[in-house]
Chain A
Amino acid sequence: MEISEGEIITLIGANGAGKTTTLMSISGLVPPKSGEILFLGKPIHKMSPDKIVSLGISQVPEGRRIFPHLTVMENLHMGAFLRRDTDRIKKDLEYIFELFPILPSRRHQTGGTLSGGEQQMLAISRALMARPRLLLLDEPSLGLAPKIIKQIFEIIRKINAEHKTTIFLVEQNANLALQAADRGYVMENGSIVLSDTAQNLLSNNDVKKAYLGL
């Protein structure tokens, strides 16, 4: 598998195919049994999670995993935990509040009291606060209304366009993911069985049958 700088890549596959495990391995939370993970040419599969974050890879974990008793602001500040450039952090905060106008009005609320959609926005914002070069997103559409999903995907594309942030998107909703992405991989039982441009995958008959429900 390969991801080039500035791309949006998607990984689709059935439940239990190993998508979350792939992301966890990249983030260093689950050490891979075999194989290598290279980031900007350097092997990272033996590094600790905090080292990997400091290299510029941050993850929006499956199920959002907001800190429920910390306020929205505190959650955002946790995202910038490894950063010391206070001025830039302030700027990024302003940028994020522009991306998600709902967040500033909720900033003193605790994370656990946010709605599912708000939590997802907060989770994405929190990951962005680390100023990632590679943003890993695990099922951002999980449990959200179609309208909110659309909004979130637009913002993902916007982040990619404005910041040149490389995005690795894992999704159940293959249709949406392939529409947003440049290229896609299909995973079955822990291995990649297909890789192509998003356009081709959308029109691929096997993919259509298995993942798009057509």
Chain B
Amino acid sequence: MLNFSKIKKSLLTAIWFMFLTFPIMVIHINPVEKAVEWRWHNMFLVGAGSFLLSLLWHYLIKKKERCFKDAGACESDTAPFLQRFMNEPRLYKPALSALTVISLSFPFLFSSYQVNIMTTALMYAVLGLGLNIVVGLAGLLDLGYVAFYAVGAYSYALLNHHFGLGFWTVLPVGALLGALFGILLGFPVLRLRGDYLAIVTLGFGEIIRLILENWNEFSFGPSGIANIARPSFFGMQFPLKGATIYIYFLMIALALFTVFVVSRLQNSRIGRAWEALREDEIACQAMGIDKTRTKLSAFALGATWAGMMGVVFAARTTFINPASFTFIESAIILSIVVLGGMGSIPGVIAGAFILILLPEHLRVFSEYRMLIFGAVLIIMMVFRPQGMISMTRRIYRFENVKEGRGIDK
């Protein structure tokens, strides 16, 4: 299946890469001895490496094309396996109980550092699920999602700083403010779609950050707000280690709550309206769906989770400044949604874990970390553009209609 032309192509790729990396990989100037070293063995390594990788690439592309032509040829594919796994209670029930045991005992088995990373991953899972409402379900490309995260974080920081309000009081307030700002963003962009919407939301995210950066009297500018209170447990404060574990469990609870609410939303009337809106605006209106309300509710209900996570973020780090809310955060959250699988709850959660845990654990490879990370993203998009776990369509059964049982499910 690897024919001559593919080998030739790989060879050319290898030569091209050897040429490209020649200045940095081969020539080495030693300033102390004032001599030029020629590291020819590096050139050989680059050549061999890129040749093999290119062959592998072509092989996988070919395989993917074959799968496309003949669906039966790829039954053993790993991704559909995940899909089947999700639909088979006999398989996932034991896995679920194992997962529960692991997640409950996790903070007692691993270091605070590990627990902290896990908490971050859980936070991003919730953020991803929130953005998934806007991007995955309603099909509105929002590049300024981090703005709502900032709104949540600053609402806790400021309310705590000025009025001494506690975490639990501000958690719903932050969520509500997130929703409010979601509507605020929603109004001007009601008529926009696609690229235009992306640009405006990107601008919105930057505006919020710039306001926080420059309005010193309100937000204390770039120096940020320090000494934010950690979450309390019925009025009790934990020492640092205890607080880490407490926030971990808090995040587990919040993540479960999010999954519950989001999955309910997805299967509700408003969830169906979002999907219709994503597919075709005119048809959606012709079905009697109120476009304005549907769009605004997507922005509001998506932003709610960012607002909530903002509060958790501020409470966890005890210090925030505008630098934590740059565009790259929005980009990461969006990657989580796209990589995991738009519209799919397990997909987004898996995406969050991979995107947050992978770079952390790749620290061993230090400088190649981002390189590997980028490569994983590109490979993912080439071979599984629909994400790791794609959205499963609800199955309606007509047989049930005749028996007079519910149509849904």
Contact = CB atoms under 8 A, between A and B. Distances in A.
Interface of A: 27-29, 48-50, 52-54, 58-59, 61, 65-71, 73-74, 77-79, 81-82, 86, 89-90, 93-94, 97, 104, 107-108, 110, 126-127, 130
B398 A93 contact: yes
B280 interface: yes
B289 A107 contact: no
Name, among B273, B280, B286, the residue most crowded by chain A CB atoms within 10 Å (CB to CB).
B286
Given A78-B276, A107-B396, A49 B286 contact: yes
Interface string B241-285: 000000000000000000000000000010011011001101111
B406 to A, nearest CB: 8
Contact of B288 (A68, A93, A130): A130
B279 A50 contact: no
A80 B362 CA distance: 51
Nearest to B400: A90
Contacts of A89: 407
Contacts of A108: 393, 395
Contact of A74 (B288, B289, B396, B398): B396
B287 A53 contact: yes
Contacts of B406: 86
Contacts of A69: 275, 279
A69 to B, nearest CB: 6
A59 B282 CA distance: 11
Given A89-B407, A90-B407, A70 B276 contact: yes
Contact of A97 (B286, B395, B398): B398
Contacts of B272: 74, 77-78, 81
Interface in B83-111: none
B288 A54 contact: yes
Interface of B: 269, 272-273, 275-276, 279-280, 282-291, 393-396, 398, 401-402, 404, 406-407
A73 B408 CA distance: 10
Given A78-B287, A90-B401, A104-B398, A71 B393 contact: yes
A89 B407 CA distance: 9
A104 B360 CA distance: 50
B265 to A, nearest CB: 16
B403 to A, nearest CB: 10
B283 A61 contact: yes
B276 A48 contact: no
A70 B289 contact: no
9 contacts: A29-B286, A49-B286, A50-B285, A73-B398, A77-B272, A81-B269, A81-B287, A86-B407, A90-B404
B394 A50 contact: no
Nearest to B395: A108
A66 B279 CA distance: 9
A73 to B, nearest CB: 4
A50 B398 CA distance: 27
B402 A67 contact: no
B289 A67 contact: no
B282 to A, nearest CB: 6
Name, among A52, A70, A89, A127, the residue most crowded by chain B CB atoms within 10 Å (CB to CB).
A70
Contacts of B394: 71, 74
A70 B272 CA distance: 10
A54 B283 CA distance: 15
Name, among B273, B287, B401, B404, the residue most crowded by chain A CB atoms within 10 Å (CB to CB).
B287
A27 B398 contact: no
A78 B287 CA distance: 7
Given A78-B272, A78-B276, A71 B287 contact: no
A197 B401 CA distance: 42
A90 B401 CA distance: 6
B193 to A, nearest CB: 15
A29 B285 CA distance: 8
